[in-house]
Amino acid sequence: MTFISRYILIGLLSSLSLFYLGCQDPPLKSFEDARSALETAARAGALRYAEPVYREAESLLQNGLIEMARQKGRLGPFRNFKTADSLYHQSIQTADRAVQEAQARISELQTELKEEQLGFQTELGAWRDALDNTLMLNNAESYWSSADLALRTCERLILENEYIAAIEAVSEGRRWLVKLSQTFAEYDNDIATKIQIWRRWVNDTLEQSRISKGSAIIVDKSAHKLYLVQGGKLLHSFDCELGYNSARHKFFSGDGATPEGIYQITKTRPAGSKYHKALLINYPNEQDKSKFAENRARGIISRYARIGGLIEIHGDGGRGKDWTEGCVALTNKDMDRLMQYAAVGTPVTIVRRSDRWP
């Protein structure tokens, strides 16, 4: 082979090498940088708080991968990775923007949440004070507990950086407070319609005691007081505890409510009572029986419900809370004193609230 022929052959081989190998390298570093930028954006919360921008950056990265693969499939001299490299850089810039938007949104949510949480805590505390200064309303207590749980959930979600869910928890808590408010409104309306009746019961009991010069017992549920009167005048007042569902008149057996009405002592138990000493009253009276039958007929209570009975004034009180099944509880010392004046036939009037006292 001549020198010229050998030279031509070497030139042809070199050209073929360039043809097949190409003259550009894939932009792998740009790809890695773009992928890293997306991971940073995800850690910054962009998927939750700037998702549209994050998805745009993700799409640019995918398009860059497709373009890079397409160029790799071409013959060397025809490869051009500029478009792929440009897509990767656009993805990086967009991911950085997603981080900025996520951080701004998180800051807004934190400010909003701080105000919402503080306001909700204040409302919750005010309702707690209201509940602590009224008779036990079981539904109201349940609603308050649900609202309090919503606050605890909000606090947990804040620690987990779930700010949107935390705001939703506050909204859920406020819905429970609306139910609580409605329960209180119904309770206040019930009192407003019955206050004159209770006032009359108290006046009649005092007048009966004045005329007979005998003893009578008046229980003020709201004040948690038992008043012992004689000859129409106050002789003693005692702190008392009631049924665990004390804010209502007793509807049926097992409802935990202390009855409201005009009763009398039917039996005294100076010994042998489960709770030190006891005075049994005639619950249910005729009015109670009539109201029970009406409520059952109207479906307000179950047709299987029983009216109940065995309501007493008894000892073992002093626990600082309403805990009985519907009875009125005094401390043993106060019960001993009351027993000195009470007898079978002694009037016992129980009202939820009244503005007329001895």
pLDDT tens, position by position, 150-172: 999 999 999 998 999 999 999 99
Rounded to whole angstroms, the Cα distance separating 159 from 154 reads 9
| 97 and 211 together in one domain | no
Q: What is the per-residue pLDDT for 22?
A: 45
- What are the tens digits of pLDDT across the range 234-291? 999 999 999 988 877 887 888 788 999 999 999 999 888 889 999 999 999 999 899 8
On average, the pLDDT of the chain sits at 88
Report which of 53, 136, 60, 126 is spatially closest to residue 96, judged by C-alpha positions. Answer: 53
User: What pLDDT does 18 receive?
Assistant: 45
Q: Are 280 and 311 spatial neighbours (Cβ–Cβ below 8 Å)?
A: yes
Q: What is the CATH number of the domain that holds 279?
A: 2.40.440.10
pLDDT, tens only, 56-103 = 999 999 999 999 999 988 887 889 999 999 999 999 999 999 999 999
Domain stops at, among 73, 106, 139:
106
Say what angle helices 163-212 and 138-159 make with each other, to 10 degrees. Answer: 160
Judged against a pLDDT cut of 60, whether residue 54 lies above it is answered with: yes
pLDDT at 4 over 60: no
User: Which domain, by its residues, includes 338?
Assistant: 196-351
Q: How far apart are the first and last CA of the chain?
A: 138
Please, is 321 exposed, middle or buried when counting C-beta atoms within 10 Å of its C-beta (0-12, 13-18, 19+)? Answer: exposed
Same domain, 327 and 229: yes
Angle at 257 between CA 176 and CA 173, to 5 degrees: 5
Looking at 67, 90, 106, the residue that finishes a domain is 106
Q: Are residues 228 and 100 located together in one domain of the fold?
A: no
The reported pLDDT for the residue numbered 277 is 94
Which one, of 189, 179, 192, 190, lies nearest residue 140 by Cα? Answer: 179
Confidence (pLDDT) at 8: 52
- Show the DSSP H helices in the chain as ranges: 3-21, 28-43, 46-49, 51-72, 82-132, 138-159, 163-212, 286-297, 332-339
Determine, yes or no, domain membership for 10: no
9: pLDDT strictly greater than 80: no
Q: Residue 302's CB: how many other CB atoms inside 10 A? A: 10
Mean pLDDT of 101-124: 91
Q: What contacts 322, CB < 8 A, 6 or more positions away?
A: 135, 136, 241, 242, 243, 244, 246
Structural domain includes residue 182: no
The model's pLDDT over 131-155, given as tens digits with 9 standing for 90+, comes to 887 777 778 889 999 999 999 999 9
Q: What percent of the chain has pLDDT over 90?
A: 63
Pairwise pLDDT comparison (252 vs 16), residue with the higher score: 252
Q: What is the pLDDT of residue 23?
A: 44
Q: Would you say residue 128 lies in a domain?
A: no
Please tell me the total count of domains within the chain.
Answer: 2
Mean pLDDT across 104-119: 90
Half-sphere exposure of 234 (CA within 13 A, CB side): 12
Q: Which burial class, exposed, middle or buried, applies to 341 when counting CB atoms under 10 A from its CB (0-12, 13-18, 19+)?
A: middle
Domain-ending residue, one of 81, 106, 131? 106
State the pLDDT confidence band at 185, using cuts at 50, 70 and 90.
confident
pLDDT value of residue 337 = 96
> For 319-348, what is the mean pLDDT?
95
Say what the pLDDT of residue 218 is. 96
Task: Taking each helix axis as running N to C, give the angle between helix 82-132 and helix 163-212, from 0 to 180 degrees, rounded to the nearest 10.
Answer: 10
Q: Tell me which residue of 275, 204, 246 sits closest to 352, measured CA to CA.
A: 246
Lowest mean pLDDT among 47-51, 135-139, 214-218: 135-139
The residue among 200, 328, 313, 225 whose CA lies nearest residue 266 is 313
CA-to-CA distance for 332 and 321, rounded, in angstroms? Answer: 16
User: Which is more confidently placed, 338 or 131?
Assistant: 338
148 falls within a domain: no
The count of residues in the chain is: 358
